[in-house]
Amino acid sequence: MDHSCAMQLNSLVEGDQEFSGVSGKLGKRSSMLHIMVLLKFLGSYGNEAALQKLGIMLGISKGAVKDYIRQSCNAILRHRDQVIKWPSVEERRDISGRIRKAHGFVNCVGLIDGTLYPLAFAPMVNGEDYYTRKGNYAIKGLVICDNAARITWVEMGWPGSVHDNRVWANSEIYLGTAKYFDQKEYLLGDSAFSASAVMIPAFKKGHNTVLPDWFDETLEDLDQYDELNQSVEQSSVDTRRNQVMLEGL
């Protein structure tokens, strides 16, 4: 997170009751200091995230570090619904119009991808479920964003070993498609997702797969398969960039 993002985050929460209601020396600290302590904690790994070690480095007590983290989290989470929210009918039309103009996909209202949020240690309960194919322990999440990199939905809390499509198939947004999608609206995803009325994944041709004649007549040659997949990949860049930002906190 760069300086401008940290300043923007601080401006969002600086008037929150978490900071105004604190008395003593702690109450005189700016909200920006609270935010910086939280970001340092989230950006530290393993022993580097120990409260006492952070306190020594920042020149505050272990208890103050704990309070700063708690107060900052409370203040930020109070704004979650206003910052991360599913777009309205008018907003979805605007999103689909921009995506159609930029990438040619009609009625697409967002881009989706799975991501892993690494854990320093294995959870004590069912820790093996959090072991990922990358050889570490993590929590699985799904992120949906529009073409302007604005996050519109986050699905969190699944063990790291769970497949992206399983998380999607059990998500509120998929189970309540009538509430979140109008007719013909859909998301773009990679080949990990199964095709449905509200999901168009990248095309994946198996090594020994023989396509029917009607498919070859619809798409004249394999170059067009590549063009389709390249469009999906290009339009999903912002989703991956948001994931990297979230993982880096």
pLDDT per residue as tens digits for the range 5-48: 888 888 889 888 888 765 555 555 578 889 999 999 988 877 88
Looking at residue 244, its pLDDT comes to: 45
Looking at residue 221, its pLDDT comes to: 46
Q: Are residues 179 and 234 in the same domain?
A: yes
For the segment 216-229, what is each residue's pLDDT rounded down to a tens digit?
Answer: 554 444 444 455 55
Tokens 């609206």 sit on residue:
185
What's the structural domain count of the chain? 2
Q: Rounded CA gap, 5 and 68, in Å?
A: 19
Looking at residue 107, its pLDDT comes to: 94
Q: Rounded CA gap, 100 and 15, in Å?
A: 40
Looking at residue 248, its pLDDT comes to: 47
Confidence of residue 95 (pLDDT cuts 50, 70, 90): very high
Q: Are residues 216 and 150 in the same domain?
A: yes
Burial class (CB in 10 A: 0-12, 13-18, 19+), 228: middle
Q: Are residues 75 and 155 in the same domain?
A: no
Q: Are residues 183 and 226 in the same domain?
A: yes
Q: Are residues 187 and 169 in the same domain?
A: yes
Indicate whether this model's pTM tops 0.75. no
The residue range of the domain holding 137 is 85-247
235 Cβ partners below 8 Å, 6+ apart? Answer: 99, 102, 103, 105, 108, 111, 147, 188
Looking at residue 199, its pLDDT comes to: 95
Q: At what angle do helices 31-42 and 62-77 cross, to 10 degrees?
A: 100
For the segment 134-172, what is each residue's pLDDT rounded down to a tens digit?
Answer: 899 999 999 999 988 899 999 999 999 999 999 999 999
Q: Are residues 93 and 164 in the same domain?
A: yes
Q: Decide which of 52, 80, 108 is a domain's last residue.
A: 80
Q: Are residues 127 and 60 in the same domain?
A: no
Confidence of residue 116 (pLDDT cuts 50, 70, 90): very high
Q: Are residues 11 and 76 in the same domain?
A: yes
Looking at residue 240, its pLDDT comes to: 53
Looking at residue 245, its pLDDT comes to: 46
Q: Are residues 45 and 151 in the same domain?
A: no
Q: Rounded CA gap, 63 and 67, in Å?
A: 6
Q: Are residues 14 and 75 in the same domain?
A: yes
Looking at residue 14, its pLDDT comes to: 86
User: In angstroms, how far is the first alpha carbon of the chain from the final one?
Assistant: 7
Q: Are residues 75 and 89 in the same domain?
A: no
Looking at residue 123, its pLDDT comes to: 92
Express as a percent the part of the chain with pLDDT over 90: 51
Mean pLDDT of 171-179: 95
Looking at residue 65, its pLDDT comes to: 92
Q: Are residues 112 and 63 in the same domain?
A: no
Q: Decide which of 39, 58, 80 is a domain's last residue.
A: 80
Looking at residue 120, its pLDDT comes to: 81
Mean pLDDT of the chain: 83
Mean pLDDT of 194-209: 82
Q: Decide which of 20, 45, 80 is a domain's last residue.
A: 80
